[in-house]
Structure 1
Amino acid sequence: MVEIVGTVFFLLIVCAVAGTLWLLLDQVWAAWVGALIALITLISLALEPRRVRSIGYQLRADDLLFRRGIMYQRFVSVPYGRMQLVDITRGPVARLLGLADLKFVTAAATSGVAIPGLAEADADALRDRLVELAESRRAGL
């Protein structure tokens, strides 16, 4: 949802700039560029629900499995004992919508995972659960 709101803001700004250039400065090319960018943005908006549905995670016995992507799918398995930091971020639009992103970092530089668009209560509960699991798995290391 946050991505949709951001995309709509982008579309409005592009249309305003292109319209201003076209109407006030009589720059016809600005109308064509604005129309092209608006078309690409509308296509992006149409694909956004499918992209959001492609994001998922699963808490398994020893790790968290994260999945995202439509054409290029990414599956990341993060062992609980390797988690070093679990962070919740809420931007201004996300706060208005009651959403949050849960991010966590491991010792490996390439395995940072962010789960976007969680309800705030779900993000808090998931963070607490992941911290609990990480601490219990680290105790054996």
Structure 2
Amino acid sequence: MNQFDHPNIQWHRVSPKFVMREVVTIIIGVLVWAAIAVALSFIPGMWWLMGAIPALLTAIPLTYVVQRTRAIGYALRQDDLLFRRGLFFSRLVAVPYGRLQMIDVRRGPIDRMLGLSALRTMTAAPMSQVLVPGLPEAEAEQLRDHLIRVAETRRAGL
């Protein structure tokens, strides 16, 4: 057990609606590549494969979208924000509150339809940037406000 699997850390997960957002995004990608395959099918030869193969490859993530969504989470500790994501290539980031320089809430068109937001944090170090997707709008705004308050108190001593 590492320090991030400690039972005292309360991990918050993204909304179950985020699965639907990911499915819609994947389907849009598949449809774009399928349209390209259909357009290329009018050219004599096997040109339609140039769209069909990417369409198939784009559809593969549908098989593990639920597991990938469950792997996303964040935790608020005393001194930092933890963020984790990924199944095959996992990422775990600890961002000290005092290093936060910007906290942003984003909503794309699909997110707005589902009532979701993404919270993005930035620091001076590009590798410590965090994007927490799939948060309900109210939770994202509350988290943003909390992080701003905590970051301001931690920077005061700098």
The reply to whether TM is greater than 0.5 is yes
Shift of 1:55: 1.0
1:27 to 1:120, Cα distance in 2 relative to 1, 3 A: farther
User: By how many angstroms is 1:54 displaced?
Assistant: 1.1
The residue type paired with residue 152 of structure 2 is E
C-alpha distance in 2 between matches for 1:132 and 1:116: 21
Aligned residues: 139
Aligned to 2:149: 132
Q: Does 1:50 align with 2:64?
A: no
Structure 2 distance, partners of 1:130, 1:93, is 25
2:156 counterpart letter in structure 1: A
Q: TM-score, normalized by length of structure 2?
A: 0.80
**Using the alignment, how far apart are the partners of 1:115 and 1:73 within structure 2?**
14
Counterpart check, 1:112 vs 2:118: no
- Alpha-carbon shift at residue 28 of structure 1 (Å): 4.6
Please, what is the CA RMSD of the aligned residues? 1.6
Alpha-carbon offset, residue 135 of structure 1: 1.1
Give the SS at the match of 2:127: coil
Match of 1:93 in 2: 110
SS at match of 1:29: coil
5+ residue gaps in structure 2? 1-17
Give the structure with the higher percent helix: 1
Task: Using CA pairs under 8 Å that are at least 6 residues apart, name the structure with larger relative contact order, 1 or 2.
Answer: 2
* Identity across the alignment (%): 48
Q: 1:61 and 2:61 equivalent?
A: no
Structure 1: where are the runs of 5+ without partners? none
Deviations 1:89-120 (A, max 9, x none): 11112111111110011122321111011111
TM-aligned CA deviation for residue 43 of structure 1: 1.2
- Corresponding letter in the other structure for 1:76: V
